[in-house]
Amino acid sequence: MGLPSFSSVVFLWIVASFSFGIVCGQDDTLNLLDFGASGDGIADDSQAFSNAWKTLCASGKALNIPAGKTFVVKPLQLLGPCKSNVLIQVDGNIVGPPTLGQWAESCNSGCWLCFQNVKGLIMKGNGLINGKGSIWWNQKSQSLNSLFFHKCDQLQLNGITSRDSPKMHVFIHSCNDVRISNVHLNAPENSPNTDGIDISLSSHVTVQDSFIGTGDDCIAIKGGSSFVNITHVTCGPGHGFSVGSLGQNPAVADEVEQIFVQNSICDKTLNCARIKTWVGGSGYAKAIFFKQMTLKQSKNPILIDQHYCNGAANCATKAGAVKVSDVQFSGFTGTSASEQAITLDCSDLGCTNIVMDHVSLTSAVPGKPVLRSVCNKASGEASFTTPEVPCLKSQVNPVTEIISPISVTP
C-alpha cells in the first residue's frame, strides 16, 4: 500500500483535531447528574452538589446544572480557593427544601448557597434559583440569603433568575471587580427583607441590564462600598435604589463614595433614589450620582433620610451622624404617587453640595395639586426642577456638574 497523499493526511488531521476538541470540551464540563443527583425535584441533591463543587474547585473545570431537571438543595458552604477560575452553568432549576424542618438541619450559616473565597467565579445560564421563601416570611426565626458571595473577587453573574428568596437574593460582601448582568430577581411586594442585591464592603461593582422586583430595596449599597455602577436596571415593586442604611453601629464609621445609578426605571416603587442613615451614626456618603431616571408612580421619588430608625433604640437621643455631601439628582422624569415628591431630611450636621438639575416630576393622579418638596438642613443648587426645592439655591442656567464623576467601568 502506498503512502497517503498530503491532502489525505491534512484531512485526517483536521478530523482528529475536531474530534479531540469535542472530547476535550466534554471532559472540561462536569454534570451534576454524574455525582449522584436525581434532579427529580423531590430527592435531596445536597450531597451531590457538595461533591461536584469539591471536584470543580480542585480541577478548575465547569459544572453544568442541566436543563429540564430540578435539584433540591439544602444550605451549602461552597469554599475556595479553587485551582483556577470556575464556571457554574445554571440551565436547570435549583430549589430549596419544601419545609422549614428540612432547612433547619443545616441553616446556621445565614445563607443558602454560600460562596466564600472563590476568585474568578462565573455563574450564568437561563435556569431558575428558587429559595421557597414563602415558608419563611411569616416566621420569627432568622431567614437566609439565597446567594452569598464573600471575598469572591472577579465575580460574574449573568442571566440567572432568582425567585422567592427567604431573605436577600444576592449579597455581595467584601468582593472586588464584580459584574452582574441580565439577571431577574423576583419576590412579592409584601415579602419582608427580600432585597434584590445588597453590596457591602465591596468595590468596582457593575449591575446592568436587569429586572428586580422585590419586597424591599431593589439594590442597597452599604458601608465600605465604592465605585458602584448601576445602569439600565428596572426596579419594581420594591423600595428603590438605596444608599444605606448607614451608621447603625456608631462604633463603626460607614463610608460610601463614587456611586452611580443611571438610565434606570422605578416602576410603582415605595422609593426611587434614596439615601438613608441612622441617627447617631458616623462616617460619610459622598460623590453619589442618580442620573436619567424614569419614574412610574413612585411614592418617594427622591429621598434623603438621615433620621432612619427602627423605633426600638431611642434613636432621637443619639448624637452624631453620617456626613452626606456631593450628591446629584439629574434627568429625572415621570410621576409621583404622593404629593411630597422630594424629601431632603438631613441631620444637624447638614447635607451639603446637593445638586438637582432637570428634575421634572408630576402627579400620578389626574387632577391632584402641584407636587411639593420638603427640606431640612440641606444646601446646594437646583435648576429646571419641578417641584421647586426651597433650600437649594435656584440657578437660572443649567447647573454644571460641581462634582467630577470618576468612571467605574472595569
Of 195, 198, 216, 217, the active-site residue reads 216
Of 217, 239, 267, 305, the active-site residue reads 239
- Catalytic, 216? Answer yes
> In what helix (H) or strand (E) does residue 286 lie, and over which residues does it extend?
strand 283-298
Distances from the Cα of 329 to the Cα of 283, 292, 312, angstroms: 22, 9, 32
Cα angle at 168 between 163 and 99, to 5 degrees?
60
CB atoms within 10 A of CB 120: 18
Instruction: Check: CB of residue 410 under 8 Å from CB of residue 208.
Output: no
Strands 161-163 and 184-186: parallel
Phi, psi of 138 (to 5 degrees): -100, 10
Strands of the 170-173 sheet, one edge to the other: 76-79, 111-116, 145-150, 170-173, 197-200, 219-221, 241-246, 271-278, 300-308, 340-345, 372-376
Q: What Rg do the C-alpha atoms of the chain give, in angstroms?
A: 25
- Catalytic, 173? Answer no
Q: Which three cell numbers stand for residue 288?
A: 453619589
CA separation for the pair 330, 357 (Å, rounded): 5
Q: Which three cell numbers stand for residue 331?
A: 434627568
Task: Show which residues are catalytic.
Answer: 216, 239
